[in-house]
Chain A
Amino acid sequence: MSATLMTAQTLNAIKGWPQPSAVDFVAPFDATVGVTPTNVVPPGTVVHLNNSGNYVLGVGNLAVMPLFTFQGSNDPDVVNAYGGDPSADVGSSVPITPSGAVMALVAIGAYELVSTNYYTGGTYNPNTPLTADVSGGSSGHPAGQLYAGTIGTNMIVGLVSRGVTDNGYGHNALAFWPCPVFP
């Protein structure tokens, strides 16, 4: 697991969550995402479900329901990354828990979110539409990272609310209202 400060990468809901009836979702990352102890998907990443019901990064120009991951792929309640590979490593241990599932907030839910996983070079005025590339996307942004998109072209995952703000722990984060707008 990386030594990242636990407050540096976060998804926070400043309005509307948690509540028992919230539209959250639980699934693992698809194997094609290639999550490893060093290839970490941080909290606040945009994902969608593939045909296997697993998360894949970003939305690109696909007409899919966006979700925003709450845990990092290396969080201890998602993965026990300490054991090694029992098929290759001597002395490895094998975790029985956890199961690799990550909770994500669905874009159709009623909340205002704040994510640290956004492109810091962009301009984010209120109502700016946001999108996130799929893996291998052409924009040059890392897959699943929020950036300003174009309505009608990109799958829009939300609209900027109060712009770049503090995530509550001194780190910049982007505040937005999830709102799927299909291309």
Chain B
Amino acid sequence: MSGVMTQEESRLANAALWEKLNSRDPILEKQAEDTVNSFTRTRMREDGFMRKIMPPTPITNDELDRSASTDKPMKIVDREPDSPASISIPFATLPSNLYIKGDRYVVTFQRITTPRFTKDVDELRTWYMDIRQVLSDNSIKDMLAEEDGKLLRGVNTALVGAGIPVPNSGTVQYEQIPGGITRDSWADGLKVMPNTPSNLEVHMHLMNNITVKDLMKFTHNEMGGTLSEDIAKNGWSLQEFMGVKLVVTVKKGLVATNSVYGFADPKFIGKFYTLEDATMYIRREAYMIEFFSYESIGATIGWTSGLSRIDYI
């Protein structure tokens, strides 16, 4: 993301953008769109946690799969089969047969869009704030909330419920651990995902900005001298803890306090495709401009053993 701009820099950037928006030249109008799009996409990469957990992959028309019953886009993804275990047998017999088949999963797509905003261009003349930021902030907040909410609804569905085994793995992947966050309970939480037959390790933790503060309660003995001292002086700044990347969100409505989600390496979770990444549409009619953002995305959790959730109660 670009650094914080001074008021003078914002005014200069605004003037350049306004000139493009105010022109009757389609090329300059397109440049104005591109300016905002570039800004928006950078912000989306940085602010959304779904994009950190399942980095999106652009998909082209050639890579899409077709169906006889619909012209809507979809992508069929092969899933690595779980082969049955080998067994020991005596002499004079042959192994049992297994006709080879393989599971696949499907990613279907939909569009996420913001409301269509309108504004009189002459009212933009007086703005000192970075217009790109105003336009993109309006777009980003709601689009990312929609993306992130979809991810967690999917994860919660996949994990079935607290204390209930997930049929895919036969193990509980959503546990409630009493006693709050301590070094012991944190380490116990790290055992949940690798306890499945897939043996996946937690690659990334997701929690909210309240829960992460409980990590600061680790004692000097638990944390170690230098780190404990640094946290006491400067607060929590670690991007990684116990070998696991941390993603901290302010979206407490999505990630409850004291809940910590675990995610395996993205390649063990599923696929997140972008048919069209976040795009700002800007149109000017006389002195009114209208704009909205949209994206076409598709995502599926293909393998649920790469997920875990711990509620520290």
Contacts and interface: CB of A to CB of B under 8 A. Distances in A.
B110 interface: yes
B106 A2 contact: no
Interface stretch (A51-59, A82-90, A123-131, A139-147): A82-90
Contacts of A82: 105-106, 108
Given A3-B69, A77-B72, A87-B160, A93 B150 contact: no
Contact of B300 (A2, A3, A83, A99): A83
A86 B72 contact: no
Contacts of B248: none
Interface string B145-175: 0000011011101101100101110000000
Contact of B157 (A4, A89, A94, A99): A94
Contacts of A95: 106-108, 154, 299-301
Interface in B67-83: 67-74, 79
A93 B270 contact: yes
B299 A92 contact: no
A98 B157 contact: no
Contact of A91 (B50, B103, B151, B160): B103
B298 A97 contact: yes
Interface in B46-84: 50, 67-74, 79
Interface in A61-107: 75-77, 79-80, 82-83, 86-99
B151 A87 contact: no
Interface string A21-54: 0000000000000000000000000000000000
Taking residues whose C-beta sits less than 8 angstroms from the other chain, chain A's interface range is: 20 to 34
Contacts of A96: 50, 150-151, 153-154, 270, 272, 299-301
A6 B111 CA distance: 20
A88 B167 CA distance: 6
Nearest to B307: A94
Contacts of A4: 69
A97 B304 contact: no
B297 interface: yes
Interface of B: 50, 67-74, 79, 103, 105-111, 116, 150-151, 153-155, 157-158, 160-161, 164, 166-168, 270, 272, 297-304
A-side binding surface: helix, strand, loop or mixed? loop
B167 A2 contact: no
Contact of A6 (B69, B158, B168, B297): B69
A10 to B, nearest CB: 12
A7 to B, nearest CB: 10
A99 to B, nearest CB: 7
B159 to A, nearest CB: 8
Contacts of B303: 93
Given A88-B167, A92-B168, 8 more contacts: A77-B72, A77-B110, A82-B108, A83-B106, A93-B303, A96-B300, A96-B301, A97-B297
A7 B270 CA distance: 32
Contacts of A92: 167-168, 304
Contact of A80 (B106, B116, B166, B304): B106
A1 interface: yes
A89 B154 contact: no
A86 B110 contact: no
Among the interface residues A87, A95, A98, which one has the most CB atoms of the partner chain B within 10 A?
A95
B107 A80 contact: yes
Contact of A77 (B109, B168, B300): B109
Contacts of A91: 79, 103, 168
B164 to A, nearest CB: 8
Contacts of A77: 72, 108-111
A93 B69 contact: no
A86 B168 contact: yes
Contact of A76 (B109, B168, B299, B301): B109
Nearest to B158: A94
Given A93-B300, A97-B150, A97-B298, A2 B109 contact: no
B68 A86 contact: no
A14 to B, nearest CB: 20
Nearest to B76: A82
B193 to A, nearest CB: 16
Contact of A5 (B69, B73, B166): B69
